[in-house]
Chain A
Amino acid sequence: MAGPKRILAVASGGGHWQQLMLLRGAFEAHELHFATTLPGLPEAFDARPATIIPDCNRNAPLAVLRTTWALLRRMIARRPDVVISTGALPGVIALALGRLFGARTIWVDSVANAEEMSMSGRLARRVAHLWLSQWEHVARDAGAEYAGAVL
């Protein structure tokens, strides 16, 4: 299918977000919408339009619900063709919701996970169409694909 696609790009604040920013160059031809957990970050990187979503981790079920709700609202408003995340758990939720809405989904595991796939990455396996590690040996061990790294 030709023409620009709607892409929702999701990453938690910190290293995940920085890596997402380093992948932006791949999506220049498309309509990008960002979601992250730390207010001020999109402005600092000139990443617009962007939505701030609540952060969560697997030890706080209520926070997981709040994040899911915020992402669900984004998903309904945007109807993305593609959802991409570099982590962490909010990104997994975004990919899962994306699939429900028929989007193609991409997981790029953080380059910080140099020994094994992250916990979020393992969760993302079931919902990612393209499941990448940024380390060749990690990809081999996990059964993921390796295509390169932002380092």
Chain B
Amino acid sequence: MIFATVGTQLPFPRLIDALAALAPDLGEPVVAQAGPGEAARPGLDLRESLTPDAFSDLFRAARVVVAHAGIGTVLSARRFGKPLVVLPRRHGLGEHRNDHQSATARQLQGLPGIYVAWEVPDLAALLRQGDLEPARDGRSPSHQALLARLRDFVG
């Protein structure tokens, strides 16, 4: 199963349209949390919003998760150990207030288990790839340093 999520704040029709176009050829179910106002599309199991429990269940059940380049989704992918494909929202297309998702995606690229689809056509190849690596929750040196600073501050 492929689980797609656009986050809780803004719609992301470019991603939902892309998945609707791919769904007939993917050979597995596609469940998408699409936010309010998305019309039903054949081949997609669309949900407007999900409770935290339902979100966790779908995340766990997924083979691969597709999402915007939102940090919440990245952290969920690590928590549940799933491969994550992100399509960054573009400010130029009216998909977000600024272009921070492209910057986030540049930083994410190359991290284990996180795959960046810079353009819609990149999605097809990534979703058909059978050997995607899971994202992992490991404490990086940078994460350790941040914890140490906080520990030190609190005393």
Measuring CB to CB, which residues of chain A are less than 8 angstroms from any residue of chain B?
1, 5, 7, 13-15, 17-19, 22-23, 25-27, 30, 38, 40-41, 44, 82, 84, 104, 106, 108, 110-115, 129-130, 132, 134, 145, 147-151
Contact = CB atoms under 8 A, between A and B. Distances in A.
A114 B105 CA distance: 10
Contacts of B104: 111-112, 114
Interface stretch (B21-29, B40-48, B146-154): B146-154
Nearest to A149: B142
A26 B100 contact: no
B71 interface: yes
Contacts of B146: 23, 26, 108, 132, 134, 147-150
A14 B107 contact: no
Interface of B: 7-9, 51-53, 56, 70-76, 79, 98-100, 103-104, 107-108, 111, 139-151, 153-155
Contacts of B76: 18
Contacts of B103: 114-115
Contacts of A1: 155
A113 B143 CA distance: 16
Contacts of B147: 23, 25-26, 148
